[in-house]
Amino acid sequence: MFPPGFSPAALLCLLAAIFGCSYAHAEDTGSTRPEEWAQPVEIRYNLFQMTPTLYRSALPDREALPLLGRLKVATVINFLPEPDLGWLSSPGVTQVQLPYRTNHVDDADVLKALRTIRDAESKGPVLMHCKHGSDRTGLMAAMYRVVVQGWSKEDALSEMTQGGFGESGHFRDSVRYVMQADADKLRTALANGDCSTSAFATCSMKSWLKSANVE
């Protein structure tokens, strides 16, 4: 059974891209790159601009600080288990660490990331990153497209897998999650401030116990 708005033909095309085709680098496809896709800023860091206030990249280093300063990045969201303190020391930049793994991601992880991005964007441009800027960052970028911007799953997955962000093997788990995710439930949970789409999720149960004053 395919998700709403996701055709078998589209799935076959994506699977062919993921498991069989080589990926073109973004700098080689700039002339044909869809305007709505994230646009390359600095290939060295796999840095792309998704919206006027949202960037995605691989793990930066100290040499990236002048560039981030020019981009006026006010918040850096890190999806790795290691903090950014080793390279990011700018006092005016807020650091947020949201570690997760694509093979264990759930709706609570996605909602936490999307809510963090949304809240941070109100204070200035945001950069989200993982190690390579492809799998963890790619999944959250795709879910931002679908849940926040209203893209179809097909369009978001096309950008994820064909946008020049990394090698094909990085996307298997991310594609699997995006395909099975219920975008409407995620959108409702995000709007309502819920931590998950399920009332039985660990975070939901903790919230209920806290509101009921149960220790």
199 confidence band (pLDDT: 50, 70, 90): confident
State CA 210 to chain mean position distance: 30
Domain count, the chain: 1
2 assigned to some structural domain: no
110 assigned to some structural domain: yes
206 confidence band (pLDDT: 50, 70, 90): low
1 assigned to some structural domain: no
Q: Which two tokens stand for residue 124?
A: 């200035």
Q: Which two tokens stand for residue 100?
A: 């997760």
**CATH code of the domain containing 13:** 3.90.190.10
26 confidence band (pLDDT: 50, 70, 90): very low
Closest CA to 44 of 14, 30, 64: 64
123 assigned to some structural domain: yes
Is-contact 77 121, C-beta < 8 A?
Answer: no
Percent helix, strand, coil in the chain, to 5, is 45, 10, 40
93 assigned to some structural domain: yes
Q: What percent of the chain has pLDDT above 90?
A: 73
149 assigned to some structural domain: yes
3 assigned to some structural domain: no
Rounded Cα–Cα distance for residues 71 and 84 (Å): 18
Print the domain residue range for 137: 8-211
201 confidence band (pLDDT: 50, 70, 90): confident
What are 84-119's pLDDT values in tens digits? 999 998 889 999 999 999 999 999 999 999 999 999
33 assigned to some structural domain: yes
